[in-house]
Chain A
Amino acid sequence: MDTKGYEVIIGLEVHCELNTKSKIYCSCRSSFGAEVNSQCCPICMGMPGTLPTLNEKVVDYAVKMGYALNCSINPVSKQDRKNYFYPDLPKAYQISQFDIPLCEHGYLDILVDGKEKRIGITRIHIEEDAGKLIHDESFAGTLVDFNRCGVPLIEIVSEPDLRSSAEAKAYLDTIRETVIYLGISDGKMQEGSIRCDINVSVHKPGEPFGTRVEMKNNNTFSGAVRAIEYEAARQIEVLENGGTISQETRRWDDLKNCNFLLRSKEDAQDYRYFPEPDLATILLDEDHLKELKDSIPELPNKKTVRFMRELGLPEEDARQLVESVEKAAYFEEIVAAGKGQIVPKDAANWVLGGISRVINETGKSIAEIGVSAGDLAELIQMLEKKEISSSAGNTVFEELLKATGKHPKEIVAEKGLAQVSDSGVLQQIVDQVVAANEKSVNDYRGGKTNALGFLVGQCMKASKGKGNPAIMREMLLKILNG
């Protein structure tokens, strides 16, 4: 977009639903998609006299995210009540964290156009989700589904360090991949597992930051990109026309591709935060924190960069592999099994090619497909050494999929797939092909050079796919040009 010399400043507040089995303050299941009001109890419905008890898994998950985002963890923190009225909030307050969040002062490195950029993380805190209002033409009024009440959330607040919608998208993608890697959320956008509020302001470089506008209701990452671009353009237009930006909250409408005023600063809600008296202080001992810290795997942003820098993968390949924990791990196993004898890019091609095709066709996991990394490495090595042709390679792969327990070398031997490089045998084949295809030979000599491809193909056919095409090509050229 044309920013007319303005710089766009973006900060994000990402809400991520955690995938704990039960809710944050009661033992109800927290899974998605259950029948309306079938996963709620007096506690998560906030009935009189009920009390919350904290699910400690929620704290562990939030702390893991804190470590993943390089935060310092507060060993002593508390929970607070955020008071407001809304029909989907049965207690009329949300239990959240106000002045002492679990995690603070971190950062996340994101990859934009092949370059790493560090985005500051202000804080991560835990809180409970609200229910859902249901409007439908089949009935008058509004109904409430309390299933989502008390589903655990972490809110990740970034510093205003993002400068474009592309950076915001990369940030959101990285957050999503990170929670999936940590196993703390399913990261499913379509089920509302990740939602974000966007703060946008614009200014001319060198001048102080402009007034920020908060945008709610951003339910998809692509919608967030459109929302940012729309809002930045709106602010720039207002300023260019001599207007001023007021601090306000706007609601993004992704269908209409525009936003509208939700409330101005004067109408800002006073949430009357105060410490939640029903819950004890959260105390985290050093040993437990260390345990959590040690459980953090290599994170996707770091893995992507390592695949690019150390294994020489193109960014797109690295990203695609890293998107799936399983594919990335499998790729690394193949490279390791190759013991430095295979090109990592070839391993990536097989994982993103043949293996991914089977995953898509069968819905199986890599483990279920059952092709061992060692076998695939062996196959790749044979291909790289031109011991078999690429079509023979495909045949071997199809055999491996049958999981007969036979290794590539055995399959090649059994099926006689080894590539023939014996020049005596090959010369005989080439001579026969040249003799049988006079027209093509003349075509080539007459300037139709693509006839060469046809002749190589005929040689391959005559060799039943086993002839080394490069050698036969050389032999053909010698005859044709000679």
Chain B
Amino acid sequence: MELYRLTAAELSRMMQKKEVSSVEVTRSVFDRIAKKEPEIEAYITLNEENALKKAAEVDEKRAKGESLSSLAGIPVGIKDNICVKGLPTTCASKMLANFVPPYNATVIEKLNASDCVYTGKLNMDEFAMGSSTETSFFKKTKNPFDTSRVPGGSSGGSAAAVASGEAIVALGSDTGGSIRQPASFCGVVGLKPTYGSVSRFGLVAFASSLDQIGPFGRSVEDVAMLYSAICGKDSYDTTTVRREYPRFEEKLTGQVSGLKIGIPDVYFGQGVSNEVREKVMEAAHRYEQMGATLVPVTLPNTDYALAAYYIIACAEASSNLARFDGVKYGYRTSNYSNLEEMYENTRSEGFGDEVKRRIMLGTYVLSSGYYDAYYKKAKFTQKLMQGMFHEAFQKADVILCPTAPDTAFTFGANSDDQVKMYMNDILTVTVNITGLPAISFPCGFDGKGLPIGCQLIGDKFSEQQLLSTAFAYEKAAGGFDLSRTLD
């Protein structure tokens, strides 16, 4: 068996028993990249030389008998909006094509402490704005299940790399569904953690109050392992929360007996394809067979959620992306004769259409005279939604619904209809708006053989519950079928 096909947990056990070395695993992954990358195009930057060097170091440490973390020597892909010292961090934008951060994101510092090996920087929608990875300045990543289709977004590179064996696990970021929707489209597991459980320091901000870094893997255990390694209070991010974070991979009971699973009608309704609805309900019934109870819950109207999301996200983005002005780093136009022109041309030439669209939306909703009508109302809606979820969690332990309304679409299918594109996020954004955790795992395929994602939403800091519940399904289903993308 090719090593790249295995999960991080399997590889970790084999490395601990010295059945394989990290160099062998890393080499296998880079061989796979060499084979699949021309077709998938998941990476913006490859880190082969450094990765093999690091792998050799880990093997040496292991040979000396040093005690190592379970992720030691595991090849991890990093979304290209997470700063890795010395590696380009482009956010898939022309604006940052030449930007090399002189610092590590906190999650990278943590993975360094776990002796992870970095395969490279993964493609994404420009500045994480998009649901298909089509807005990347550099390339279009293909869905490993069907290369005429998108991998989802914005963490499309992360999902595609993990699904195709171009990385064992990967980090992504989720502002409105950017981990869960591509995980759903690519048939892998993705966790959007509770806001405040993973440090955002070194994550190039899209919407500060919504962004959260999270893990991708081919199994729930892998996602749990990676999440355990990155979560925790960080003195460099005051929005992180100090609390006890267990080793989640050790808490996967797979027990759902007595669990109350909330089913929100409204998230199975209009816009959700029949096949998606059926497969996700099948998953719900599977839980029922394992001893869980399904209970109906009422959740916020998705229309309001989407509107509130786009107002808050764009408002924050318009401010966060203002620093890309050509003065200090990144792209600067060559066409200017004064400061004003330098700003205008740098930003006009450096940003793509979707980014410019959201900056304009955000600037508009924060403008004097419009703030109360938009931003303030959106924040009010956010409060209402938090209240509704709080009530739902009085009745249910977790909430189950589809991750995305449909399976992966073809390239260009939604490009000329922004509202249609934004509708992709309709089932994921409420989780970001409310700061809750949610996981997406595969629950079958549609008639075209495309994976369907089931989403579990939990109350704040209920990651252990979510992971364990997803693990129960995975065990019952006999694992997730990625044979088509890993062959």
Contact = CB atoms under 8 A, between A and B. Distances in A.
Nearest to B364: A272
Contacts, number: 100
B111 to A, nearest CB: 15
Contacts of A144: 327-328
B138 to A, nearest CB: 17
Interface residues of B, number: 44
A49 interface: yes
A49 B202 contact: yes
A51 interface: yes
B322 A48 contact: no
Contact of B323 (A48, A272, A280): A48
A277 B316 CA distance: 8
Interface string A193-228: 000000000000000000000000000000000000
A273 B371 CA distance: 9
Interface stretch (A79-87, A159-167, A299-307, A389-397): A79-87
Contacts of B200: 49, 51
A149 B438 CA distance: 39
Contacts of A54: 238
A92 B325 contact: yes
Interface string A84-104: 010100111100000000000
B238 A51 contact: yes
Interface stretch (A39-47, A58-66, A378-386, A461-469): A39-47
A1 B441 CA distance: 79
* Overall SS of chain B's interface: loop
Contacts of A81: 319
B103 A53 contact: no
A422 interface: no
A279 interface: yes
A274 B371 contact: yes
B205 interface: yes
A240 interface: no
Given A47-B329, A48-B83, A274-B371, A42 B102 contact: yes
A85 B322 contact: yes
Given A48-B99, A49-B202, A270 B367 contact: yes
B327 A277 contact: no
Nearest to A46: B323
B380 interface: no
Nearest to B344: A85
Contacts of A45: 328
Chain B CB count within 10 A is highest, among A54, A83, A85, A277, for: A277
A278 interface: yes
A353 B89 CA distance: 66
A52 B368 CA distance: 26
A3 interface: no
Given A85-B343, A279-B238, A274 B368 contact: no
B155 to A, nearest CB: 16
B204 interface: yes
Nearest to A279: B238
A50 B208 contact: no
Interface in B40-71: none
B237 A87 contact: no
B263 interface: no
A83 B322 contact: yes
B12 to A, nearest CB: 29
B319 A49 contact: no
Contacts of A50: 103, 201-202
Interface in A141-197: 144
Given A92-B325, A144-B327, A277-B316, A272 B366 contact: yes
A51 B237 contact: yes
Contacts of A85: 322, 325, 343
Contacts of B96: 48
Contacts of A52: 238
Interface string A260-283: 000000000010111001111000
A482 B102 CA distance: 98
Nearest to A83: B319
B89 A48 contact: yes
Contact of B328 (A90, A274, A278): A90
Contacts of B327: 87, 90, 144
Nearest to B209: A277
A219 B88 CA distance: 43
B239 A278 contact: yes
Interface residues of A, number: 28
Interface in B62-95: 81-83, 89, 91
A93 B319 contact: yes
A273 B207 CA distance: 15
Contacts of B339: 87
B272 interface: no
B446 to A, nearest CB: 37
B236 interface: yes
A42 B201 CA distance: 11
A92 B323 contact: yes
B101 interface: yes
Contacts of B83: 48-49
Contacts of A46: 323, 328
B235 to A, nearest CB: 7
A91 B368 contact: no
Contacts of A277: 207-209, 239, 316
Nearest to B328: A90
Interface in B387-446: none
Contacts of B318: 83, 272
A51 B239 CA distance: 10
Contact of B101 (A42, A273, A274): A42
Contact of B319 (A51, A53, A272): A272
Nearest to B329: A47
Interface in B298-318: 315-316, 318
A53 B201 CA distance: 11
A30 B178 CA distance: 39
B168 interface: no
Contacts of B324: 48
A262 to B, nearest CB: 15
A83 B366 CA distance: 10
Interface string B340-382: 0001000000000000000000010011100100010000000
Chain B CB count within 10 A is highest, among A46, A54, A144, A274, for: A274
B369 to A, nearest CB: 9
Nearest to B202: A49
A91 B323 CA distance: 5
Contacts of A92: 319, 322-323, 325
A48 B82 CA distance: 9
A153 B231 CA distance: 34
A385 to B, nearest CB: 65
A280 B205 contact: no
Contacts of B235: 53
A144 B328 CA distance: 9
B236 A53 contact: yes
Contacts of A47: 101, 103, 328-329
Nearest to B104: A49
Contacts of B101: 42, 47-49
A42 B103 CA distance: 8
A274 B204 contact: no
A48 B98 CA distance: 13
12 contacts: A47-B103, A47-B329, A48-B89, A48-B96, A49-B82, A49-B205, A53-B236, A83-B319, A92-B319, A92-B323, A270-B367, A274-B375
Given A144-B327, A274-B366, 19 more contacts: A46-B328, A47-B329, A48-B91, A48-B99, A48-B101, A48-B204, A49-B201, A50-B202, A51-B200, A90-B327, A91-B322, A92-B319, A92-B322, A144-B328, A270-B367, A273-B366, A274-B375, A277-B316, A279-B238
Question: Top 8 closest A-B pairs, CB basis?
Answer: A92-B322, A277-B209, A272-B366, A277-B208, A48-B204, A49-B202, A49-B204, A270-B368
Interface of A: 42, 45-54, 81, 83, 85, 87, 90-93, 144, 270, 272-274, 277-280
